[in-house]
Amino acid sequence: MRTFRNITGNQTIIKLLKNAIFYNKVSHAYIISGDEGCGKTLIGETFAKTLLCEEGKTDACCNCISCKSFENGNNPDIFYVKPKKGKTKSIGVNDIREQVIENVSIKPYKYKYKVFIIENADDMTKEAQNAFLKTLEEPPEYGVFILLARNPEKFLPTVLSRCVNIKIRPLSNGEVINYIRTYTEIPDEKIELFAEYSRGSIGRALMMSQSSEFIEMRENIINTITNLYGKNDFYACDSVKYIEEYKNEKGLLDIMYMWYRDMLSAKVLKDDKYIIQKDKKDIIFKEANKYSAECIIDKAEACLEAKNQLLKNVNFRLCMEVLLMKLKESY
Ligand SMILES: [Zn+2]
């Protein structure tokens, strides 16, 4: 159940929202932004739930009718604004008219506020934002809008300036590890691994831990690069075919980089407590014996270089051919 007390990290933001409730200084509009899986929906929804909680405290009680109806998805004063089914993913001017402007003019059914949660609010068209602007300029006293967004720069400056802007930062590795350890069944040997891949997002860590595709991708990538040892240039170039299907996966080069980083820890520090991929520690130690520390560092750097190249939209196949040729070298 959503409560502020159960949220990991982002405590400054949570304090700001709790203070707004406590001091009765709730603004009419909030933009909560951050990457996929950063917890913006969780924070936005918890704020909405707390605003309507009948206990009137700074965190949801989870026992009152309002809290319970929110968790059941039928609180009469909380509305989710979405693009109409069958249309494109952008929120159009008609969606805003029908779901926001017409609705907000009617007083709350039961509670102090009427809360509108707009998911992917940055997908609002310019026309939709302009239509919404009128409501933002003169909102009814009870109206609260929570706009969830990945790219706040897509909002018109006029919309931005009328909202409280809250940016959710990625959590630290330690915070993610603590969360995973406390709230999930992920086995110990994989906790650090998922925390590392999650890049500060609990949502992403959980998603990956439940995704068989991610686990399969990781296996395929590790197999491809470990098989390069002792092979010729032709084999290395041809091996691109084993990883080509992951060309749009952001994690591809992270997985490769982490592989060599762990190998370097094994080689230099010779202690498995420094290895993140504990589930593979035996093979990491074995692999580390095949190369010099210098060679492993060069490989890790080649992975970072390839990652930068791909961000610049360099041809995937070419970039990977160069990388795999480098990764097959041993000295
Ligand atoms: Zn409550």
pLDDT digits (tens, 9 = 90+) for 98-114: 999 999 999 999 999 99
Q: What's the gap in Å between 111 CA and the centre of ligand 1?
A: 12
Whole-number Å distance, alpha carbon 319 to ligand 1 midpoint, is 55
205 CA distance to ligand 1 centroid (A)?
30
How many whole angstroms from 69 Cα to the centroid of ligand 1? 10
Give the separation between CA 192 and CA 278, rounded to whole angstroms. Answer: 8
- The token pair at 202 is 């609990």
pTM, two decimal places? 0.74
Percentage of the chain exceeding pLDDT 70: 99
Task: For 8-19, write each residue's pLDDT tens digit.
Answer: 889 999 999 999
pLDDT band at 87 (very low <50, low <70, confident <90, very high): low
- Taking residues 111-123, what's their average pLDDT? 96
pLDDT digits (tens, 9 = 90+) for 183-201: 888 888 888 888 888 888 8
Tell me the C-alpha distance between 143 and 115, whole Å.
6
Whole-number Å distance, alpha carbon 28 to ligand 1 midpoint, is 21
Domain range list for the chain:
4-167, 211-327
Q: Is the confidence at residue 35, as pLDDT, over 90?
A: no
Which residues partner with 117 through β-bridges? 80, 146
Q: How far is the CA of 51 from the centre of ligand 1 (A)?
A: 9
Mean pLDDT, rounded, of the chain: 92
Q: Which CATH superfamily is domain 4-167 in?
A: P-loop containing nucleotide triphosphate hydrolases (3.40.50.300)
> CATH fold of 211-327, please?
Zinc Finger, Delta Prime; domain 3 (1.20.272)
pLDDT exceeds cutoff 90 at 161: yes
Tokens of 58: 């700074």
Q: Let me know if the fold of 4-167 is the same as that of 211-327.
A: no
Alpha-carbon gap, residue 49 to 154, rounded angstroms:
27
Q: Using the predicted structure, report yes or no on whether residue 86 has a pLDDT greater than 70.
A: no
Distance 113 CA to ligand 1 centre (A): 14
Q: Which tokens in the block code for residue 128?
A: 């939709």
Q: The tokens 């400056």 sit on which residue?
A: 157
Identify each DSSP E strand in 2-97 by its residue range.
29-33, 78-81
pLDDT in tens, 236-260: 999 999 999 998 887 899 899 999 9
**Per the structure block, which two tokens stand in for 139?**
């909102």
